[in-house]
Amino acid sequence: MALGTAQAALHAHAHQHHQHQPYNADQREALLTGSNGSNGGASPRLMVSSVRRPRSLKDRCLDGAERGMDFFVKLIGPLLTIVCLCLVALVTRAYFVEVLPLLSARVCHNASDDTLRRYFERQEFHAATVRGREGILDSRSGRFIAADPRYADSVERLLSHHGALLSSVWTDTSPCGETVTVTAFGLFLLGNLLFHYFATMRLGPGRPPERLGAEVEEHLAAHDPEVRREEGQRVRYCKACRRIKPMRTHHCRACGQCSMKMDHHCPWVNTCVGWRNHRHFLSFLLYLWLGCSFFLLSSVDSAMPVLLGSHAGGDIWLLMAAVVSVAAFCAGALFLAWCGFLLLTNQTTIEFYGNHLASPPGHNPYRFSWTRNIKQVFGEHGWILLAIPSLAPPPGDGIIFPLNAGRGLPLPMLINERTA
């Protein structure tokens, strides 16, 4: 994710120098209509200046660095998606194999003695050693209950039906319903995390249509804040995709196509984050952070002895899962805070860096109130879509976005909020 943010910053920097270079009317006519007409036959709505600016050494260096980063991102993208899924599987395995048994024992500590006694009386336990850990073994089901190594008489006390000293219950059955509730909540977080992860990859940012209506083109020519009218440019056009760029649309070299409302290219999902999958990407970050928090809180008693070196044998997976969860928790918190800031201010990563790198610094024409900014991404019923997995399309069409008339824009770029 950090790589995608850096790529977006580099894209914005390069965008300030050479992204919107105009080209002559013959090229535009051939590209837009497929004809070989002359300047006189070109559409006056799309006519741009034929003046070209010579590219400086700095521009060429920026272009080369951007191409190199795009190639690297495209190369490692599929690998990072596999790594991400493997890490999720690692943490999930550690919870069910290492954490859940101890969680069951900790919850059962608050259960009544009669409940525990009825549970243990249905088993046939005897002292045993499994994986170098002492405990008691149920000869009927083969379930093993490890003793707490902090107590010398823990095995005897286990055999006496004292469940308070249980360290790890290797069973899928617990006399306590609280464990089922906690695990169900964890599965809810896991399910939403995987759903929004795959939805982000599957939906993508959205690609602009090949042709726009005449009214839409006129609207973009009059109101798109990124059009360089002082250079004679009427609309933004992508030579690689051979189509007009709507508002907030940029070309991604890693994806090889234009992305609507492009925020950045994320190698962890192997696609761009944009208009169509923005909600799913934010939801993925949120559930990633909540899932890591859930695992760390529920595995305190399991992971701390491993981190302190008091347990040995078979706990390497728990140690790896704990390290991964701590790293993902910290990284997820940082990126969630950053993406939350962009959401509340209604700007993309490219727009943020583009405005701050501009001379003089630009303004954000898309910013409204926090509530309206959130609704532009999540819709009117955003909280429901955040809790319940849904593939509902995002608000709007991804082509035209409302502009705030009070953000200090030149008059030709303004659009009344009520008519947007």
Separation between Cα atoms, residue 300 and residue 388, nearest integer Å: 29
Higher local confidence (pLDDT), 261 or 116: 261
pLDDT band for 116, please (50, 70, 90 cuts).
very low
Position 129 scores a pLDDT of 63
Higher local confidence (pLDDT), 374 or 51: 374
Whether residue 110 contacts residue 103, with contact meaning beta carbons closer than 8 Å, is answered with no
Helix (H) or strand (E) holding 258: strand 257-259
pLDDT band for 99, please (50, 70, 90 cuts).
confident
Separation between Cα atoms, residue 355 and residue 223, nearest integer Å: 17
* Token pair in block for residue 323: 């390290």
Query: Would you list the DSSP string of 143-191?
Result: -EEEEPTT-TTHHHHHHTT-GGGEEEE--S--S-HHHHHHHHHHHHHHH
Position 82 scores a pLDDT of 94
Residues involved in catalysis? 266
- Exposed, middle or buried: residue 45 (CB in 10 Å: 0-12, 13-18, 19+)? exposed
Position 59 scores a pLDDT of 81
Q: Which residue has the tokens 């583009």?
A: 354
Asked whether residue 224 carries a pLDDT value surpassing 70, the answer given is: yes
Position 101 scores a pLDDT of 72
* b/e 148-184 (16+ beta carbons within 10 angstroms → b): beeeeebbebbbeebbbbbbbbbbeebbbeebeebbe
- Exposed, middle or buried: residue 270 (CB in 10 Å: 0-12, 13-18, 19+)? buried
Position 232 scores a pLDDT of 80
| Mean pLDDT computed over 45-65 | 64
What is the percent of the chain where pLDDT is above 70?
61
**Chain segment 151-186, per-residue pLDDT in tens:** 555 555 555 543 433 333 333 344 455 778 888 999
Position 44 scores a pLDDT of 37
Position 55 scores a pLDDT of 72
Position 143 scores a pLDDT of 57
pLDDT band for 35, please (50, 70, 90 cuts).
very low
Position 125 scores a pLDDT of 56
Nearest to 73 by CA among 235, 307, 269: 269
Asked whether residue 17 carries a pLDDT value surpassing 50, the answer given is: no
Asked whether residue 273 carries a pLDDT value surpassing 90, the answer given is: yes
Rg (CA), the chain: 29
Position 260 scores a pLDDT of 95
Higher local confidence (pLDDT), 59 or 310: 59
Poorest-confidence range of 46-55, 70-79, 249-258, 263-272? 46-55
pTM for the predicted model, two decimal places: 0.71
pLDDT band for 5, please (50, 70, 90 cuts).
low
**Chain segment 313-358, per-residue pLDDT in tens:** 446 888 889 899 999 999 999 999 999 999 999 999 999 988 877 6
Higher local confidence (pLDDT), 274 or 99: 274
Asked whether residue 361 carries a pLDDT value surpassing 90, the answer given is: no
Q: Which residue has the tokens 């770029």?
A: 413
Position 8 scores a pLDDT of 59
Position 408 scores a pLDDT of 46
**Chain segment 180-213, per-residue pLDDT in tens:** 888 899 999 999 999 999 999 999 999 999 888 8
Mean residue pLDDT of the chain comes to 74
Position 37 scores a pLDDT of 37
Position 61 scores a pLDDT of 84
Separation between Cα atoms, residue 146 and residue 158, nearest integer Å: 9
pLDDT band for 77, please (50, 70, 90 cuts).
confident
| Mean pLDDT computed over 52-78 | 79
**Cα of 316 vs its chain's centroid, Å:** 28
- Exposed, middle or buried: residue 17 (CB in 10 Å: 0-12, 13-18, 19+)? middle
Helices (H), 204-315: 214-223, 278-298, 300-307
Whether residue 250 contacts residue 67, with contact meaning beta carbons closer than 8 Å, is answered with no
Asked whether residue 259 carries a pLDDT value surpassing 80, the answer given is: yes
**Chain segment 277-307, per-residue pLDDT in tens:** 999 999 999 999 999 999 998 887 666 665 5
pLDDT band for 11, please (50, 70, 90 cuts).
low
Report which listed range, 36-40, 56-60, 175-179, 360-364, is most confident: 56-60
| Mean pLDDT computed over 65-93 | 88
Whether residue 237 contacts residue 28, with contact meaning beta carbons closer than 8 Å, is answered with yes
Separation between Cα atoms, residue 264 and residue 213, nearest integer Å: 28
